[in-house]
Homo-oligomer: A and B are copies of this chain.
Amino acid sequence: MDFSSKLLENAVYEISQLPGIGKRTALRLALHLLKQPKDQTSALSNSLLKLREEIKFCSNCHNISDVVLCEICANPKRDESIVCVVEDIRDVMAIENTGQYRGLYHVLGGRISPMEGVGPQNLTIDSLVNKSKEGIIKELIFALSSTMEGDTTNFYIYKQIEGMGLKTSTIARGIAVGDELEYADEVTLGRSILNRVPFENSLKLG
């Protein structure tokens, strides 16, 4: 693309560095900002700068937080003996939205993926293993995505904490509520039959 303005070219280049945004979309976004009041652009820029400069991570669960100990870890009503291991803050938000979980979290910051150059040392696994040694945690719930990388990460952590006497579990895989059986994939359907639950349980959940 040939730009008539260096300023525009720079802005388009920087926007197009974001994932999933190409040069054309970047140009459309830049032109949109030019049509809006200057306040909008400065608010956007400042919020990004502030986010990147001032963000903190909870010292206990490594979740994004504005303070040293996040709201969830600081809440005395939460059960600190159960820890749900997740990839990132989006998973915490998703589980919190269900309102069904009263334990704490541990945010890994990704999953082991040699293809993308992410090894165990890039994640917060050491911190999880150290926490587990303290004896407060009784159960770890693995809630990583069920991909090869997710399974590898689960297994790596499982090996690290083996022999500490912790209960480990993974979230149930099965047919989504409201889904039709005929469209489910075989692996999911197979697991949902093997891991069937007493009918009375589903009555209780409504």
Contacts and interface: CB of A to CB of B under 8 A. Distances in A.
Q: Count identical subunits in the complex.
A: 2
A64 B19 contact: no
B53 A90 contact: no
Given A5-B55, A90-B31, A44 B15 contact: yes
Interface in A1-53: 1-8, 10-11, 13-15, 17-20, 25, 27-34, 38, 40-53
Report whether over half of chain A's contact residues are helix, strand or loop; otherwise say mixed: helix
A96 interface: yes
A108 B63 CA distance: 48
Nearest to A51: B11
Interface stretch (A66-74, A152-160, A173-181): A66-74
Interface of A: 1-8, 10-11, 13-15, 17-20, 25, 27-34, 38, 40-56, 58, 63-66, 70-72, 88-90, 92-93, 96-97
A47 B11 contact: yes
Nearest to A64: B5
A14 B8 CA distance: 20
6 contacts: A3-B93, A7-B55, A8-B64, A10-B50, A31-B89, A34-B51
B51 A10 contact: yes
A66 to B, nearest CB: 5
Contacts of A19: 28-29, 32
Contacts of A56: 5
